[in-house]
A and B are shown apart, each in its own frame.
Chain A
Amino acid sequence: MKQTFTIAIGGAAGQGVATPGDIFAKIFSRRGLHLNAYNAYQSIIRGGHTFLTIRTGPEKVTNMGDRLDLLIPLNQDAMNRHLGLLTNGAACIFNAETIKPGAAAEGVALCPLPVSKLADITRNKVAQNTLAVGAGLSMMGIGFQAVQEVFTEQFKKKGEAVVSENVGIARAGYDYATANFKPFARPLPMTGNRYAVLSGNTAMAMGGAAAGVKFYCAYPMSPSTGVLHWMAAHARKAGIMVRQVEDEIGVVNMAIGAAHAGVRSMCATSGGGFALMSEGLGMSAMMETPVVVIDCQRAGPSTGVPTKTEQGDLWQMLGAAFGDYPRVLAAPLDIGDCFKIIPEIFNIADRFQCPGLVLCDLLLSEGRLSVDPKDLDFAPVIDRGELITTVTAASGTHDNGGYKRYKITESGISPRAIPGVPGYTHTAATDEHEEDGVLISDEFTNPTKRRAMMEKRMRKVAGIEAVVSPPALVGPRNAEITLIGWGSTKGVIEEACEILSDQGISANQLQIRWLVPLHGEAILDILKDARHTIIVENNYSGQFARYLRSETSYVPNGYIRKYDGEPFMPHHIVEAVKEQLGGTTRLSVPAHEILV
């Protein structure tokens, strides 16, 4: 078992949960500790309840874990909801003047802070938060120097007075805890590393910048809006045109317009916005103008639960837009992969002149992870495919009309001239067309030509399959259990496998990143020796299980699903596996114990 430490901060929206979270995250990442943060929140700006968990440790931390070590409830509601989650060795720091603790389990340290005696609460409304942060850091065994540094940085924009006031309050909490509370059994270690901490949305936006995206547009929609925010804030430095558009129909069409002019173009939304973009994807495919669209899934259907996570849009992505056309669809496996996947999918979309779809979810989009800065590579391979941007000897000069934009080729790829190049004028149409772009939808319908164009476009599917690597099995080959997941569940399944192995049940993992192309043959080959397979996914109907079956006829031994809006925790999977090995059920739906 790896050493990790988890802090949870709960309170009402607007009570200042985020700032202590940022401070803890900074302190941990600068000590060379990995971290994973997840904020369970509600679609409300002020009030309600938000619950931020930050899990840290010297090894890679991939999910929120199963255990809370320190709870900081900022109000009575948070105390009432979560004190019961604490087990032996955990502590709860709270404002003794406003919050009553209730009954705690044996071995849980209750740490009341006499807030008004330690800070001037008439001057500083979030003094209880700052005191708690100081107290917590003292109990974790972190020197005050590090605390002071991060507080100074956090408040430096607000001026010297605010900095010294906050450092003072943190110090008071720190010293009070040193004198009155028992430190945690294992102090947090330090390593020589230094990590970047970022959300999946920031990672995808930065990945776009690294990929050479020059045009980004969006309509605000949770949980995708973070991509827009990063893009907008960094647009001028990065030389990216960023536009907020009237609706998602406008978004995808504007993005395709920019792409058609020859730049890399990207947009992001959530399931509802993606539904509006659907027709546009068909246009991208038919005109053979590449565009990358990100869907950050949230709990649906319809408006659903905008602040909660789900993997419920798979079939929407598979079926987006009518007719048959080549597409690529990838689900990033973690927040670092959110960065990496963008240049990769752009290269494929550009090369095969088709839409590239990224299927992310709230868990990654809004969660935060420590990443080695080296993994944020701003010099990835950029392959724009067969793009004609000027008249050269290779592209040749054409008399008007001689250039065939949709030339029938063996690969299905036709060299693409962008507007402005002399001699290559043509019209790209959403109607079916022949090689030179002339429509074969009205006066000149022709079944032979229509068939040839369908086959030309669809030939790209084989080419795409050849450049995308098939998935691989991770863990012991002959394991008792094979857990199959896709996208964001990678980390939690990985940890469930470790826990199962520790408990004497050997387990391995097949995690799917590329959904289209799926590589069904390769998957069947991997699974043919598996002893007991279970598909784990964050939706009701087993969307991936149904997709895998439709592509390969493969039926696993069991399913673990969750559709309550919250992500899996490792023990959910571990317990479900045991339940299924016991033979009582083939479908487990773990209950989420945290009331958020």
Chain B
Amino acid sequence: MATVLADTKHVAMADFKGKVDPDWCPGCGDFGVLAAVQKALVDLQIPNHNVVTISGIGCSSNFPGFINTYGMHTLHGRALAVATGLKLANHELTVLVTGGDGDGFGIGGNHFVHSMRRNVDLLYIVMDNQIYGLTTGQTSPTSRIGMKTKSMPFGNIEAPVNPISLALAAGATFVARGFSAEQKHLTELIKQGIQHKGFSFLDVFSPCVTYNLDNTYQWFRPRVKKLEDDPVHDPTDWMAAMGKSLLWGDEIPIGKFFERTDLPTLHGAEPVLNAGPLLHGDSRIPPDVARSFVEELT
């Protein structure tokens, strides 16, 4: 995500305080993600009116209501499509897309894959709790095999999607994973994701304390290992990143898996935007151009 130059006014934490407090369950991992996003925006000094937070539907998709930026709380699974249109119409805006694993990898799976191959310049944060929360606890696309939920009471028999491998395969140019209990680390990843020019994917372990009793804070804490602490990890090496993405079990990597900066963003590759954002363009077709359109038909 490209950064909009900060206005002269100092941007403070209070600027991003939402009109209402989050109504997530006490202990929900999403609180940590919200705090980290607010902190990252302050650190980067991006004024709130230049930020658009766009979500789908679900617990974590209530996010735009809890932060003071421009927001769009759209349809289930459609946030990335909406965000793509918005970014192309005004690429000077910083676009954050927030949502959950069901929203992004289930109902929104198609847009997820295509947004990555397009290299749309935005940061997509998935608060991944491996469960459907707002519908009171059903299996999600990232639920592990064997997990018992209301929709699969005898245990899930479907293999979960691996969001990191999928993002790498689909061509995301920034791929990272965070843990909502690792605030400083998460804030750093969000800042990098915002600054990256292109599609930044950030999968965040954000435990659901009400419906997912398998993947809890206690479960994650001993397992997560920061890639930044691995002296041989090279985030420019796609093959190595793919290898790391497959690790799951006693050791689960978090941090930046992969980043490449040599590819144009979607808006950067489109000559129509050379003159600046569409929003600022003249809405009238110049008379000589209009005449040429009609002449083609005579």
Contacts and interface: CB of A to CB of B under 8 A. Distances in A.
B271 A265 contact: no
A442 to B, nearest CB: 6
Contact of B68 (A198, A400, A431): A400
Contact of A427 (B64, B81, B271): B64
A450 interface: no
B288 to A, nearest CB: 10
Interface in B81-138: 81-90, 92-93, 110-111, 113-114
B279 interface: yes
A135 interface: no
B12 to A, nearest CB: 11
Interface string A219-235: 00000000000000011
B47 interface: yes
A77 interface: no
Given A29-B298, A246-B114, A421-B49, A214 B283 contact: yes
Interface in A283-334: 283, 287
Interface stretch (A166-174, A251-259, A538-546): A251-259
B74 A420 contact: no
Interface in B240-298: 270-273, 275, 278-279, 281-285, 287, 289-290, 292-294, 297-298
Interface string B44-75: 00011110111001000010110011111111
A210 B65 contact: no
A266 to B, nearest CB: 12
Contact of A257 (B69, B82, B294): B82
B144 interface: no
B15 interface: yes
B19 A401 contact: yes
A245 B83 CA distance: 13
A280 B78 contact: yes
A237 interface: yes
A442 B86 contact: no
Interface in A202-229: 202, 206, 209-210, 212, 214-215, 217
Given A421-B49, A427-B72, A254 B81 contact: yes
A332 B298 CA distance: 22
A532 interface: no
A257 B281 contact: no
B232 interface: no
A106 B97 CA distance: 73
Interface centre among A198, A401, A419 (most CB of B within 10 A): A419
A258 to B, nearest CB: 4
A318 B255 CA distance: 50
B85 A420 contact: no
A215 B290 contact: no
Contacts of A287: 72
A422 interface: yes
B270 A250 contact: no
A257 B279 contact: no
Contacts of A209: 285, 290, 293
Nearest to A391: B49
Max chain B C-beta neighbours (<10 A), residue from A30, A195, A235, A250: A250
A260 B292 contact: no
A312 to B, nearest CB: 27
B65 A426 contact: no
B272 A240 contact: yes
Contacts of A210: 285, 290
Contacts of B78: 249-250, 253, 280, 283
A241 B278 contact: yes
A400 B281 contact: no
Contacts of A373: 294, 297-298
Interface in A367-383: 373, 376, 378-379, 382
B82 A260 contact: yes
Contacts of A407: none
Contacts of A235: 272
A250 B73 contact: no
A202 to B, nearest CB: 7
Contacts of A422: 7, 47, 49
Nearest to A240: B272
Contact of B89 (A202, A206, A265, A279): A265
Nearest to B287: A378
A265 B85 contact: yes
Contacts of A401: 19, 68
A36 to B, nearest CB: 15
Interface residues of B, number: 61
Given A253-B78, A262-B90, A378-B290, A238 B285 contact: yes
A238 B70 CA distance: 29
B81 A420 contact: no
B92 A400 contact: no
Interface string A411-428: 000000011111111111
Given A250-B111, A429-B73, A430-B73, A443 B23 contact: yes
B116 to A, nearest CB: 12
Nearest to A371: B297
A378 B72 contact: no
Contacts of B53: 427
Contacts of A430: 57, 73-75
A572 interface: no
Interface string A495-508: 00000000000000
Interface in A351-372: none
Interface in B147-189: none
A263 B272 contact: no
Given A215-B85, A241-B278, A283-B74, A419 B285 contact: no
Given A250-B111, A421-B49, A206 B278 contact: no
A425 B49 contact: yes
Interface string B15-47: 100011001000000000000000000000001
A13 interface: no
Contacts of A195: 298
A360 B71 CA distance: 34
Nearest to B63: A427
Contacts of B15: 400
B56 to A, nearest CB: 9
A215 B19 CA distance: 32
A427 B73 contact: yes
Nearest to A194: B298
Given A280-B75, A438-B65, 4 more contacts: A196-B294, A423-B49, A424-B49, A437-B19
Interface of A: 29-30, 194-198, 202, 206, 209-210, 212, 214-215, 217, 234-243, 245-247, 249-250, 253-265, 279-280, 283, 287, 373, 376, 378-379, 382, 389, 400-401, 418-431, 436-439, 442-444
25 contacts: A30-B298, A214-B279, A234-B293, A235-B272, A238-B289, A246-B110, A250-B110, A259-B85, A260-B72, A261-B93, A261-B279, A373-B297, A378-B284, A382-B284, A389-B279, A400-B48, A419-B93, A421-B49, A422-B49, A425-B49, A427-B73, A428-B72, A430-B75, A437-B71, A439-B73
The 5 residue pairs across chains A and B that have the minimum distance between CB atoms: A257-B85, A427-B71, A212-B283, A378-B290, A261-B89
